Amino acid sequence: MFKRVFTAAVAGASGYAGGEILRLLLAHPEFEIGAACASSNAGALLRDHQPHLIPLADRRLEPTTPAVLAGHDVVFLALPHGASADIVAQLPDDVVVIDCGADFRLTDASAWETFYGSAHAGSWPYGLPELVRADGSLAREQLHGARRIAVPGCYPTAVSLALAPGLVAGVIDSQDIVVVAASGSSGAGRSLKPHLLGAEVMSSMSPYGVGGSHRHTPEIVQNLSSAAGRAAQVSFTPTLAPMPRGILATCTARLADRAGADGGRVDAGAVIEAWRQVYADEPFVQVLPQGSWPSTGAVLGSNVVQMQLAVDETAGRVIVTAAEDNLTKGTAGAAVQCANLALGLPETLGLPRVGVAP
């Protein structure tokens, strides 16, 4: 029986996200890696930028042009924000394009222009299959057979999955959401920046994007508003942690009035059950057993988000902590997961569900 293998091109192959996509594609039984592209690094050998990708060591990075990318079944774009739209406009409609940048994530043009400072290119189906919406539907429904998919940001992945079930169930309030999240330095990309030098990052944590200025803020608000069925109000503070990769997001929200409407104690078990029901059959979202809490080390290299929650009855809040690998489930793993859905392949194909330890 004839078995088709899909060809894939990766733009931004010399960066962290592009390298992670290539790592996952090497283990995928239905993909053959075609062009590996770069911009300023075009012409160099891949081994000089991704020495861990031993089977591809002698590949020469090609220029990132529509001519090079065209002719593949799937094109993965791991490019700086704002760089994808021009390339996509020149690719055939039948090519599946998975964009790991922010260009097509936001539905609100004014939010894009405010946070990114350029014209809005439009919006594509949102590539977070497990995201539940107010009407009970999942984002996955728009991804089957899609030709264009926008992969979520790494922070929005953790935060949105952490809080959406409670908003849909009506057990938490959408108007008082506070998120503090720590990310490894790879989340800032591979370009040289003084504050990301080892001497600056080691043994130190620092906040950034404080006061609602981080570019992932409108994406988080968009997702949580979709889950709540009304505008969400979110205070988001990211921090830089002394680790290469990983995100640990601590998300809190006020218990909805109806959660304790009978005047008695809040049934914490019933609140937690709202999350367990939503994610019971999700292979890449794990609500941990009570007493266990997520850690970035447990999901390193995997396409899994681990989470745990607790009800703080004294404060009247629900606390959800979620951990993910920002380069796998937070970017490249989501991209491959979406490609599987777009091509009619099993969603879990080629994606690791176990981490690397220690």
Residues designated catalytic = 154
CA–CA separation, 282 and 286 (whole Å): 8
Amino acid code (one letter) for 243: M
* Residues ≥6 apart with Cβ < 8 Å to 315: none
Q: Strand, helix or coil at 310? A: strand
Both tokens assigned to 334: 């989501």
Q: From CA 116, how far away is CA 194, in angstroms rounded?
A: 22
Q: Provide the residue type at 84 as one letter.
A: S
Mapped onto helix, strand or coil, the DSSP state of residue 11 is strand
286 CB-near residues (< 8 Å, 6+ apart):
279, 304, 305, 306, 307
Contact status, residue 188 vs residue 251, Cβ threshold 8 Å: no
Q: Cis ω on the peptide bond leading into residue 283 (within 30° of 0)?
A: no
Q: What share of the chain is helix, strand, coil (3-state, %, to 5)?
A: 30, 25, 45
Other Cβ atoms within 10 Å of 57 Cβ, number: 13
Q: How far apart are CA 288 and CA 285, in angstroms?
A: 9
